[in-house]
């Protein structure tokens, strides 16, 4: 998604994790991701750091690799003389009316159907349009998808499956719950794909975890 | 009665402490052993510190009754080191226990820790009385700003980065340089307001905001650096001034709110890296409603192992009331014979120590290395590993900075005989805290020109160490002898180390300084060593 803010152009993408790039004339831009949690008065800082614009330099993209559902907002700021850090763009995750892709990573047709039903539940809750990718024609038929993948811009992609911990998952040496990931110094989860360890979960619980329906 | 090891590692400032039956036996920072300053090593483990304590005391970690790690801690390392016999405590709880139970404050006091963060939080506040602590505020990483982050990340960015991408000035090491430059700067509304967008305080809320102060500060300072704002010394000084001013303004507002909520609490105890800022401590000490402040001498994370020991001893009923520390000499020590043996490999001669003679040498302008007993715990040289010089010549700065290769923004501190403290400095409060060089004081007009080497040139403040006869008899004696010769009950005391080194630990380090001409004469124990 490209958004133009005065002379700056901001590109954000949530497929499957959040990424932000900025194109503009400033030396640096600050990108922050805030998470809104139930029962919290104010949003919590999940990650923030400076990025170089125009794809130049080592850190020219902001990314938070968490793939499952969470209620977040991205904020882009620049430094203005006399004022300091000034927000130039904010976007809170909201897929209502937008096209969301769901990849069902299972070879079990029964499980694919369970997951499909949870996707439909998600659709009702979020009022989004859905595209489902699966091995099984049963699910494809149920989906009655009118879309073709090529040329489509998905607002968000969810991967639903059982994903082992990957080497890219940051394992902190600090946590007492060894094996869990801590992000933003406070958010604790099992891997970038799963909020909880899927090994003891039912098919429905796995999908609900990933889609934020738990 | 128990043997307790406190341990902290996997971050900067790894350290280990040993407490037996509620008595502090030993506290050693890993940097003293590795000779690498904590700011250069943000992934250090207390291996050598533990090894040294085991060697000194003959007590092994594996045989201790309790091993207490402070968060954040390395799980696998802890299991291996202790044979899986360990427990874990919170970072800020450790800071607060360390501060409160060494404050000697029996009556009502507020205990507060504030730093760059433990596992989950950056701040804790307790109400305390008669050994009981009640938690009233926790500042969580995710929604609380950190003034320590403001300083750490400003320090790490202000001089840019080397070709390997490492900061030229280091977080947890060089913050004092900015604090030292601050008085030479001036108020600049634009910089002040810009820094205020990194962190602010909402009156009445006890809430610093926004969180993410670390990266917001880095963003601001990196941008200013790229705009060449820091190319001139003036730019750095103006920035530092506004950094210091904002820190004081926000934190004093916060304390004001605490005072309004708990007006009967007029004594304050602090720990955490923020309180390495002696200028901030001065402002707090000068608040009219404050009776006394105390800052844990090892106020940074190097004091966490001590806090862990105190916490456990308190749980066990072995350390239940706050006590005053006589001193913080908890490191290694060496006998005269051991030193003599080490000195044989150097081209030096020794003679017996006579205080009057050393006082005369100081008066002549000699730079004396002072190595006495166990080394100090914490960042300050307090008369166990110090360099002593007469305070009367401003030119001393240039000589010392050249010999020690130090940055010229770093002021030198005085040691002062307790009986004369009120004659020289304006604020008579918190003398116990001032035994550990943790607070700045304004100098009385008549003394400014008499001791210029230990006074900050612009704001005329100093960071004195109060010395009394009971706690530091040998240091007090040399001060008294010097006073008899010069009429001045003050000496310059700077840490015994060259720039970028930790304070020295053993006689070899001291003799190296003598050999290299950094000091003129070296007092160790009952002897004086000089080059042949």
What digits encode the pLDDT tens for the residues B449-465?
999 999 998 899 999 99
Q: Quick one: pLDDT band at residue A150, thresholds 50, 70, 90?
A: low
CA torsion sign for B142, B148, B151, B152 is negative
Average pLDDT over residues B328-354: 97
Residue B392 has pLDDT above 50, yes or no: yes
Which residues of B are less than 8 Å from A77 in CB distance?
219
Contact at CB, A85 and B189, closer than 8 angstroms? no
Average pLDDT over residues A142-171: 73
Q: Quick one: pLDDT band at residue A40, thresholds 50, 70, 90?
A: confident
Can you give the pLDDT at residue A170?
Answer: 63
For A27-31, B50-54, B172-176, B252-256, which range has the lowest pLDDT when averaged over its residues? B172-176
pLDDT digits (tens, 9 = 90+) for A62-105: 999 999 999 999 999 999 988 999 999 999 999 999 999 999 99
Does A84 lie at the interface with B, CB-CB under 8 angstroms? yes
Average pLDDT over residues B262-276: 98
Q: Quick one: pLDDT band at residue B407, thresholds 50, 70, 90?
A: confident
HEC readout, B507-518: HHHHHHHHHCCC
CA B1 to chain centre: 31
> Residue A204, class by beta-carbon neighbours within 10 Å (0-12 exposed, 13-18 middle, 19+ buried)?
middle
Can you give the pLDDT at residue B335?
Answer: 97
- Hey, what are B299's tokens? 């106020």
Which residues of A are less than 8 Å from B215 in CB distance?
30, 32, 48-50
- Hey, what are A60's tokens? 């020219």
Residue B58 has pLDDT above 80, yes or no: yes
Strand blocks (E) in B204-334: 207-209, 267-271, 292-295
Residue A145 has pLDDT above 70, yes or no: no
Average pLDDT over residues B388-415: 88
B386 vs B71: which has the higher pLDDT: B386
Yes or no: say if B206 and B193 are a contact pair by the CB < 8 Å rule. no
Domain map (residue ranges) of chain A: 2-92, 99-211
Can you give the pLDDT at residue B358?
Answer: 97
Helices and strands, counts by H and E, chain A = 3, 13
Does A56 lie at the interface with B, CB-CB under 8 angstroms? no
Query: Which of B195, B197, B215 is facing A48, going by the closest CB pair?
Result: B215
- Hey, what are B8's tokens? 């902290």
Query: Which of B71, B119, B197 is facing A84, going by the closest CB pair?
Result: B197
Name the pTM for this structure. Answer: 0.94
Closest CA to A208 of A188, A194, A187, A191: A194
pLDDT digits (tens, 9 = 90+) for B163-191: 888 999 999 999 999 999 999 999 999 99
Q: Among all residues of chain B, which has the CA nearest to that of A28?
A: B223
Helices and strands, counts by H and E, chain B = 19, 22
Can you give the pLDDT at residue B396?
Answer: 87
- Hey, what are A70's tokens? 């969470």
Can you give the pLDDT at residue A55?
Answer: 86
Can you give the pLDDT at residue A176?
Answer: 45
pLDDT digits (tens, 9 = 90+) for B489-515: 999 999 999 888 999 999 999 999 999
Does B205 lie at the interface with A, CB-CB under 8 angstroms? no
How do B465-467 and B413-417 pair as beta strands?
parallel
Closest CA to B94 of B129, B121, B75: B121
Can you give the pLDDT at residue B428?
Answer: 85
Can you give the pLDDT at residue A165?
Answer: 78
Highest mean pLDDT among A4-13, B301-310, B496-505: B301-310
Contact at CB, B211 and A45, closer than 8 angstroms? yes
Average pLDDT over residues B18-22: 97
- The residues that bridge with B140 in the sheet, in sequence order, are B121
Residue A178 has pLDDT above 50, yes or no: no
Determine the Cα–Cα distance for residues B212 and B149; give it in Å rounded to an integer.
9
Instruction: Please name the residue that has the structure tokens 């009776």.
Output: B291
Residue A121: CB atoms within 10 Å: 15
* B207 secondary structure, DSSP code: E
Can you give the pLDDT at residue B241?
Answer: 98
For B109-123, B236-250, B397-411, which range has the lowest pLDDT when averaged over its residues? B397-411
Contact at CB, B10 and A173, closer than 8 angstroms? yes
Q: Mean pLDDT over all residues of chain A?
A: 88
- Decide: helix, strand or coil at residue A168: coil
> Residue A127, class by beta-carbon neighbours within 10 Å (0-12 exposed, 13-18 middle, 19+ buried)?
exposed
Q: How far is CA B49 from CA B41, B53, B332, B350, in A?
A: 15, 6, 10, 31
Contact at CB, A83 and B219, closer than 8 angstroms? no
Query: Which of B10, B11, B141 is facing A185, going by the closest CB pair?
Result: B141
Please state which CATH number belongs to domain A2-92.
2.60.40
B215 vs A140: which has the higher pLDDT: B215
For chain A, percent of residues with pLDDT exceeding 70:
88
H or E, element range at A82? none
Task: Name all domains of chain B by residue range, CATH numbers in brackets.
Answer: 3-93+301-315 (3.30.420.40), 143-291 (3.30.420.40), 336-531 (3.90.870.20)
Closest CA to B454 of B445, B442, B463: B463
Closest CA to B443 of B430, B461, B423: B461
Contact at CB, B142 and A45, closer than 8 angstroms? yes
Contact at CB, B226 and A174, closer than 8 angstroms? no
Average pLDDT over residues A122-148: 78
- Hey, what are A50's tokens? 């400076």
pLDDT digits (tens, 9 = 90+) for B111-128: 999 999 888 899 999 999
Residue A114 has pLDDT above 70, yes or no: yes
- The residues that bridge with B467 in the sheet, in sequence order, are B417
How do B66-70 and B87-89 pair as beta strands?
parallel
Q: How far is CA B210 from CA A44, A89, A93, B189, in A?
A: 9, 17, 20, 20
Q: How far is CA B223 from CA A49, A85, A152, B275, in A?
A: 12, 11, 37, 27
Yes or no: say if B421 and B434 are a contact pair by the CB < 8 Å rule. yes
Residue A141 has pLDDT above 70, yes or no: no
Query: Which of A27, A45, A82 is facing B212, going by the closest CB pair?
Result: A45
Q: What residues contact residue B128 under an 8 Å CB cut-off, 6+ apart?
A: B100, B105, B108, B109, B110, B111, B134, B269, B322
Residue A115 has pLDDT above 50, yes or no: yes
Q: Among all residues of chain B, which has the CA nearest to that of A48?
A: B215
Contact at CB, A85 and B197, closer than 8 angstroms? yes
């Amino acid at each position: 998604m490209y958004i133009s803010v005065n002379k700056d152009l901001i590109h954000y993408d949530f497929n499957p994790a959040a990424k932000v790039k900025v194109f503009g004339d400033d030396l640096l831009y600050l990108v922050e991701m805030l998470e809104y949690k139930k029962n919290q008065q104010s949003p919590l800082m999940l990650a923030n750091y400076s990025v170089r614009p125009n794809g130049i330099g080592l850190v020219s993209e902001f990314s938070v690799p968490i793939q499952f559902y969470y209620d977040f907002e991205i904020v882009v700021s620049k430094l203005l003389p006399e004022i300091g850090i000034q927000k130039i763009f904010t976007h809170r995750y909201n897929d209502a009316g937008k096209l969301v892709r769901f990849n069902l990573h299972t070879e079990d047709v029964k499980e694919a159907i369970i997951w499909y039903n949870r996707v439909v539940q998600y659709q009702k809750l979020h009022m989004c349009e859905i595209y489902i990718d699966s091995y099984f024609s049963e699910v494809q038929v149920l989906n009655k998808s009118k879309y073709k993948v090529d040329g489509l811009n998905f607002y968000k992609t969810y991967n639903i499956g059982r994903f082992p911990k990957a080497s890219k998952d940051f394992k902190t040496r600090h946590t007492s719950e060894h094996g869990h990931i801590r992000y933003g110094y406070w958010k604790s989860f099992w891997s970038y794909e799963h909020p909880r360890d899927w090994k003891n979960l039912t098919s429905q619980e796995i999908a609900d975890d990933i889609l934020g329906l738990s | 009665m128990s043997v307790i090891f406190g341990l902290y590692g996997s971050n900067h400032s790894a350290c280990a402490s040993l407490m037996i039956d509620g008595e502090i036996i030993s506290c050693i920072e890993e940097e003293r052993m590795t000779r690498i300053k904590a700011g250069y090593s943000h992934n250090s483990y207390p291996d050598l510190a533990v090894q040294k304590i085991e060697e000194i005391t003959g007590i092994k970690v594996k045989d201790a009754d309790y091993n207490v790690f402070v968060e954040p801690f390395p799980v696998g390392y802890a299991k291996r080191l202790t044979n899986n016999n360990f427990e874990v405590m919170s970072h800020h709880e450790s800071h607060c226990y360390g501060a409160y139970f060494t404050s000697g404050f029996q009556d009502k006091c507020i205990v507060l820790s504030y730093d760059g963060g433990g596992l989950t939080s950056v701040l804790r506040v307790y109400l305390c009385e008669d050994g009981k602590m009640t938690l009233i505020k926790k500042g969580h990483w995710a929604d609380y700003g950190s003034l320590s982050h403001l300083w750490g990340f400003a320090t790490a960015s202000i001089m840019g980065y080397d070709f390997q991408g490492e900061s030229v000035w280091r977080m947890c090491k060089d913050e004092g340089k900015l604090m030292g430059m601050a008085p030479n700067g001036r108020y600049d509304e634009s910089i002040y307001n810009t820094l205020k967008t990194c962190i602010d305080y909402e009156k009445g809320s006890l809430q610093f905001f926004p969180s993410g102060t670390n990266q917001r500060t880095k963003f601001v300072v990196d941008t200013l650096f790229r705009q060449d704002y820091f190319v001139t010394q003036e730019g750095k000084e103006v920035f530092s001034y506004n950094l210091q001013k904002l820190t004081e303004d926000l934190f004093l507002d916060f304390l004001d709110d605490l005072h309004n909520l708990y007006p009967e609490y007029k004594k304050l105890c602090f720990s955490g890296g923020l309180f390495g800022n002696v200028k901030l401590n001065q402002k707090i000490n000068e608040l009219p409603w404050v009776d006394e402040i105390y800052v844990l001498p090892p106020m940074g994370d190097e004091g966490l192992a001590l806090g862990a020991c105190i916490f456990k001893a308190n749980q066990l009923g072995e350390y239940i009331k706050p006590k005053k520390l006589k001193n913080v000499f908890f490191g290694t020590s060496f006998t005269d014979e051991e030193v003599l043996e080490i000195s044989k490999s150097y081209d030096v001669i020794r003679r017996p120590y006579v205080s009057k003679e050393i006082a005369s040498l100081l008066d002549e302008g000699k730079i004396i290395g002072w190595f006495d007993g166990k080394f100090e715990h914490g960042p300050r040289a307090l008369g166990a590993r110090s360099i002593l010089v007469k305070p009367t010549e401003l030119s001393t700065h240039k000589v010392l900075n050249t010999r020690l290769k130090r940055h010229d923004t770093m002021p030198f501190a005085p040691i002062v005989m307790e009986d004369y403290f009120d004659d020289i400095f304006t604020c008579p409060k918190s003398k116990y805290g001032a035994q550990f060089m943790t607070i700045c004081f304004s100098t009385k007009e008549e003394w400014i020109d008499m001791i210029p080497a230990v006074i900050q040139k612009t704001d005329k403040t100093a960071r004195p160490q109060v010395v009394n006869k009971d706690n530091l008899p040998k240091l007090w004696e040399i001060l008294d002898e010097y006073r008899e010769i010069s009429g001045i009950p003050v000496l310059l005391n700077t840490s015994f180390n060259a720039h970028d080194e930790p304070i020295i630990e053993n006689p070899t380090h001291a003799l190296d300084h003598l050999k290299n001409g950094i000091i003129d004469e070296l007092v160790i124990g009952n002897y004086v060593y000089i080059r042949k």
